[in-house]
Structure 1
Amino acid sequence: MTMLKLFGILVFCGLLSPSQEVLSGLSCAVSPAAMQNVLSEAILQNGLLQQHLQGLVLPNIMSEGGLLNSPTSITGLHLVKVRRPKLSVVLLPGVGVQLSIAAKLELSGDCLVGLLSELIDILVDVRISANIKCTNYEAGTVQVVFEDCLCILGAVKIKLLSGLLTLSVNEIVLRQLTAALPALLCPVLEIVVNLVNIQLLGTLNAVIPVGTAGTIHYQLASLPFTSGLFLGMDLDGAVKQVGGTIIPHDSSPAALPPLLDKLLMLGLRQSFLNAALTLLIQTPPQTFTCTPEVVSAAA
């Protein structure tokens, strides 16, 4: 899972470059399932989505006809809880990644029918989806673009303490929620995506100390790309000894085998491994005690 987090930014970068079977540099291929695991943990399991949706307030809902033919108004409607959220990822070749979140939103407010006021609870199924892609690569960084956000409502369940809810009120509630929720939920999802992007982008431009021998520095080498079956990226790696001396290594392409049912595949050039091992395995100078008597005896 640590490795998945390390390359988690791929979930946002599906891409603008043509698909390839041969990747250059340190190469990585990530399956949709792996991306889904990373994003589910970052957005759902860590409570990031719930945190930014908590206390979301909806516009008041007004109706001329409702219970007992009296004017009806619903005020103070707010989000109480996000139930059973589920995240899914679909690769869009040439576009990027489509991120979708399905959940049940538990809403609560005050319902006024004529002179009668009581609490109202609403449970609505929603599905929010958006396309996410990477552009403008420069010096190991990319710009993440969030676009084409769509919010679709499903079943709506309304509960009043009195239980006296007419079909007309159900219809106006559904109509008002359909109009209001996309404008409220899409900006929240964009904020969450940007926050996760900031967290994950840092994992693609890192300096790893190797004890006291030196460091290994890697960063994104180009825009990520998609073949339709996986997201791939190339990394530039530099192996430095203490003092800043770079251990050279070949930058020829590294071919990856088919991903098949694997979650993630990482390809390292042999020359890069040699450079890293040179840094890791350093034999210190040895001093041997040697006297003329010892040499004479050996002869």
Structure 2
Amino acid sequence: MTMLKLFGIIFFCGLLSPTQEVSSGLSCAISAGAIQKVLSDTMLDNGLLQKHLQGLVVPNIMGDGGLLSSPTSITGLHLVKVWLPKLSVVLLPGIGVQLTITAKLGLSGDCLVGLFSEIIDITVDVNITANIKCKNFESGTVQVIIEDCLCILGAVKIKVLSGLLSLSVNEIVLKQLTATLPTLLCPVVDIVMKLVSIQLMGTFNAVIPVATAGTIHYQLASLPFTSGLFLGLDLDGAVKHVGGSIIPHDSSPSPLPPLLDRLLVLVIRQSFLNAVLALLIQLLPQSVPCSPDAFSSASHLQEAVMTLVPAECSACHGTSPLGITLTLAGNPLILLEENKATVELLVMIQVFVKHLDGPVLNLLLLKADLSLNAHMSITGGRLVLGVSLAGISLSLESSDVGISSISNLKPHCSDLLVETLLPLINGALGMGIPMPNMLGIPLTKADIRILLGLLAIFV
């Protein structure tokens, strides 16, 4: 129980500067209930609490017995059992986290009353309350501290085989336990808290590969903060190419959506998504064969272009086949509106003739501004995007043969891009964007909501 308490303390600690705005690439609000469940599950399953309480030894208890009682000594009193503790969490706005652990401890030792020696068993109810804070934020890390730790004893039961302990002995035991147990249990909580803080930091301070394209380095952007309803964390997400260069994204603040009755909400800024898309969508220029056996849309575009070529252009009507090249221009741009996500992409379409004994003749160079509907889902802890063509705007950049009207080419270019380029883009996006592992809470049965400039993942 104490261990669970500690883990929860660490996670909630450091809540010093309350705010409800996202000041970095990502932000997360976690409910008190979710934290309590994570702490309970993690600490009990790992046996961390039991492990650090195993060596608990209580100082010897001595009583002189007075005029009517024999001298009493209880030695070797040590912890033999911890009944399943219970943990509760209260978030203190602007202050931190208050954790309360209740547990029943079983102690055993040797009891000597006068000349009579026997085994003594003691059970004691304990209630440990600690206020946890984080301070000294630096480079994605914080220092976890216990500001206050209060241990109160409840019911105490004492048993010996003979059952011949006097009331004065019971009073001596209770007095000594009241004086010594708090000084023993609070340091255990402090030790466990430090261990758990290391484990917790690892859940949101991590470098995660994005396939072979690069990495995302998640880390705390500032001290955690609390409201009365949730623990808030702002995260930086540094997006890097394989070579180490960082893809920048801005960090202007945005409001957090209400958590309501969910375990957590992970909020991702539009600018961060744009940086990751620039990492994922890196396609080399694509040469598209005009054979009907390969892409029918390419053959149809070729036929439509040839109807626009002036008859006097002899170089255009030779035996050399046409070539088509698709080239991405610039980085993709995602736009998040209420209940709608759109990816804008610029593609250059070149249709040309290359004679064996001559230079490339540029029949057309077209600029295609694509508007793509983006569909999102969470799979295996990754945000997976898929796109479909919503619209295309086509403009003529240049033509070496004097073509000026391209109005009839739009449907053929649309078909070509859907048939050749979109599968490549969806293949790149299908690798997914790895999400930070916030306290190990799995992003299962996630509900994705698209807001203005924000993507919110509710669990």
Post-superposition offset of 1:100? 1.8
How far residue 278 of structure 1 moved from its aligned partner, in angstroms, is 3.0
User: Equivalent residue of 1:175, what SS?
Assistant: helix
Q: Is the CA contact (8 Å cut-off) linking 2:119 and 2:161 kept in structure 1?
A: yes
Deviations 1:87-123 (A, max 9, x none): 2211122321112211100000011111111111101
Alignment-derived partner of residue 89 in structure 1 = 89
Equivalent position of 1:4 in the other structure:
none
SS class of match (1:70): coil
Partner Cα separation in structure 1 for residue 152 and residue 286 of structure 2: 71
TM-superposed CA distance for 1:245, in Å, is 2.5
Map of 1:294 onto structure 2: 321
Q: Deviations over 1:250-280 (max 9, x none)?
A: 3222322111111111100112122223323
Distance 1:182 1:230 in 2: 30
Give the conservation status (yes or no) of the 8 Å contact 2:213–2:241: yes
Alignment of 1:66-145 (within 5 A): 69-145=69-145
Whether contact under 8 Å (1:122, 1:157) holds in the other structure is: yes
CA–CA separation in structure 1 for the residues paired with 2:142 and 2:169: 48
CA contact (8 A) 2:216 2:237 kept: yes
Shift in Å, 1:199:
1.2
> Which residue is equivalent to 2:439?
none
Shift of 1:231: 1.2
Distance in structure 2 (CA, Å) of the matches to 1:148 and 1:164: 39
User: What CA distance in whole angstroms lies between the structure 2 residues aligned with 1:209 and 1:9?
Assistant: 30
The alignment status of 1:38 with 2:38, answered yes or no, reads yes
> Which structure is richer in relative contact order (CA contacts within 8 A, separation 6 or more)?
1
Matches of 1:173 and 1:10, distance apart in 2: 33
CA distance in 1, matches of 2:9, 2:273: 24
Q: Distance in 1 between matches of 2:43 and 2:50?
A: 9
The one-letter amino acid of 1:94's match is: G
Q: Give the C-alpha shift of residue 163 in structure 1.
A: 1.5
Name the counterpart of 1:166. 166
1:129-184 Cα deviation digits (max 9, x unpaired)? 11110111122111111121110000011111112222221111111100010111
Q: Report what 1:64 is aligned to.
A: 64
SS at structure 1 position matched to 2:321: helix
The alignment partner of 1:228 has SS state of coil
The residue type equivalent to 2:98 in the other structure is: Q
Q: Distance in 1 between matches of 2:65 and 2:45?
A: 42
SS at match of 1:177: helix
Equivalent residue, structure 1, for 2:149: 149
1:218 aligns to what? 218
Q: Which moved more, 1:282-291 or 1:78-87?
A: 282-291
- 5+ residue gaps, structure 2: 1-7, 292-318, 324-352, 354-362, 364-459
Aligned equivalents of 1:288, 1:9: Cα separation in 2? 59
TM-score if structure 2 supplies the norm length?
A: 0.59
Go from structure 1 to structure 2 and tell me whether the alpha carbon gap of 1:91 and 1:149 turns closer, same or farther (over 3 Å shift): same
Pair 1:22-2:21 in alignment = yes
Q: Distance in 2 between matches of 1:158 and 1:13?
A: 37
- The runs of 5 or more residues in structure 1 that have no matched partner are 1-7
RMSD: 2.3
Equivalent residue runs for 1:182-221 within 5 Å: 182-221=182-221
Counterparts of 1:152 and 1:166, CA distance in 2 = 24
Name the CA shift for 1:10/1:115 in 2 (closer, same or farther; >3 Å): closer
What is the distance in 2 between the residues matched to 1:99 and 1:222? Answer: 22
CA distance in 2, matches of 1:12, 1:145: 11
Aligned counterparts, 1:227-238, within 5 A: 227-238=227-238
Separation of aligned partners in 1, 2:13 and 2:267? 19
CA contact (8 A) 1:105 1:124 kept: yes
Task: Supply the AA of the counterpart residue of 2:211.
Answer: G
Indicate if the aligned counterparts of 1:81 and 1:106 stay in contact, CA closer than 8 A: yes
Tell whether 2:53 aligns with 1:53.
yes
**AA partner of residue 171 (structure 1):** E
Q: Secondary structure at the match of 1:268?
A: strand
**Relative to structure 1, is the Cα distance of residues 192 and 9 closer, same or farther in structure 2, using a 3 angstrom cutoff?**
closer
Q: In 1, Cα distance between the equivalents of 2:55 and 2:238?
A: 47
Instruction: List aligned pairs for 1:254-293, cutoff 5 A.
Output: 254-288=254-288, 292-293=319-320
Asked whether the 8 Å contact 1:254–1:267 carries over to 2, the reply is no
Do structure 1's residue 253 and structure 2's residue 253 form an aligned pair? yes
In structure 2, relative to structure 1, the CA distance for the partners of 1:91 and 1:15 (3 Å cut) is: same
Tell me if structure 1 keeps the 8 A contact 2:9–2:99. Answer: no
Indicate the residue corresponding to 2:388 in structure 1: none
Where does residue 12 of structure 1 map in the other structure? Answer: 12
Q: Tell me, in whole angstroms, the C-alpha distance in 1 between the residues paired with 2:31 and 2:255.
A: 17
Q: CA deviation at 1:295?
A: 3.0
Please list every run of at least 4 consecutive aligned residues from structure 1 whose deviation after the TM superposition is greater than 6 angstroms.
Answer: none
CA distance in 2, matches of 1:295, 1:220: 54
**Structure 1 residue 77 displacement after superposition:** 0.4
